[in-house]
A and B are shown apart, each in its own frame.
Chain A
Amino acid sequence: RKEVEQDPGPFNVPEGATVAFNCTYSNSASQSFFWYRQDCRKEPKLLMSVYSSGNEDGRFTAQLNRASQYISLLIRDSKLSDSATYLCVVSSRMDSSYKLIFGSGTRLLVRP
């Protein structure tokens, strides 16, 4: 079983739609959680951290369920520019440092 699992998609949605991505992780000792965004042929960039109480940044809402080891990302009012691959990332402490494990990503296509 992969340490971080995501539905690969693609999710093909019209502009203005609401779309949700899910992610599960296997290591119950994982401490921090993040969503990264990767545009085609570009490097990944941090989109947002995921906090236990849930957090929102504009049209983006992230949720964490530690009991179910589940993370979600909700995008409201989708824009064409939201088209990208969204990577679920989990951080675990290994010895004296933190190790980031990347999911394989969920691809989003927003159409006009």
Chain B
Amino acid sequence: SAVISQKPSRDICQRGTSLTIQCQVDSQVTMMFWYRQQPGQSLTLIATANQGSEATYESGFVIDKFPISRPNLTFSTLTVSNMSPEDSSIYLCSVRTGLNTGELFFGEGSRLTVL
């Protein structure tokens, strides 16, 4: 298993500003992911955070809007840039450990409200 700490746990931001979310894992992991969960919706994968290289973004998500850093195997950040109310969502960091390809461990999420 893995213990994941995310911060901030919640924030209220003004339109046009940017917010960086941090994700710290208690062990070294190869695969780290960033998901978004909009109100009443399920999880949508934003990108895979690759250590030592650029993140791999899913369709509909771009680096300019969601820059990601992964400086080492235990830490990653996601920035939500130039925010609009449509960015209001829960952002979740997750990791995969071991050989079970279906088991993801999630942080508690960062609840973002953009006014």
Contacts and interface: CB of A to CB of B under 8 A. Distances in A.
Contacts, number: 40
Interface string B83-104: 0000000001000000011111
B41 A91 contact: no
B88 to A, nearest CB: 15
Interface in A41-100: 42-46, 49, 87, 89, 91, 97-100
Contacts of A89: 102
Interface of A: 32-34, 42-46, 49, 87, 89, 91, 97-100, 102-105
A89 B31 CA distance: 18
Interface string B41-58: 111110010000000000
A97 B73 CA distance: 17
A106 to B, nearest CB: 11
Contacts of B44: 102
A55 B31 CA distance: 28
Interface size class of B (residues with CB under 8 A): 10 to 19
Interface of B: 31, 41-45, 48, 92, 100-104, 106-109
Given A32-B102, A43-B109, A91-B101, A99 B45 contact: yes
Contacts of B43: 44, 87, 102
Interface secondary structure of A, over-half rule: strand
A99 B102 CA distance: 9
Nearest to A50: B102
Contacts of A46: 102-104
Given A91-B102, A97-B31, A103 B45 contact: no
B94 to A, nearest CB: 8
Q: Find the residue from A42, A44, A46 having the highest chain B CB count within 10 A.
A: A44
Given A97-B31, A100-B45, A43 B101 contact: no
